[in-house]
Amino acid sequence: MTVTEQYLLDTYRARRLGEPAPPAPGTHDWQLVRELRDYRRFRAVLAGRPARGRLRAALSRLLPGRRPHPTC
């Protein structure tokens, strides 16, 4: 069963039982990405590492001819 089919089945059940419809698939994806990013930054601060710019700094070290970007 696909995600869409499961959503339609859940919506049908909710309507028959008089309950609120479930959120559509993918509705909260960006919220999850933001929460994951915030959690990783929090864990970095607790570990004593810079919270921002780690990926950009790592990439600038790998690319020749680029100056390393100062991190916060």
Convert the pLDDT of each residue in 37-63 to its tens digit. Answer: 889 888 988 988 877 776 767 777 787
Q: Which of 61, 1, 59, 45 is nearest to 25 (CA)?
A: 1
Question: Can you give the pLDDT at residue 53?
Answer: 72
| pLDDT value of residue 39 | 92
Under the banding of pLDDT at 50, 70 and 90, the label for residue 72 is: low
CA angle 28, 32, 36 (to 5 degrees): 175
Structure tokens at 1: 């069963």
Residue-wise pLDDT tens digits, 9-45? 999 999 999 999 998 888 888 898 999 988 988 898 8
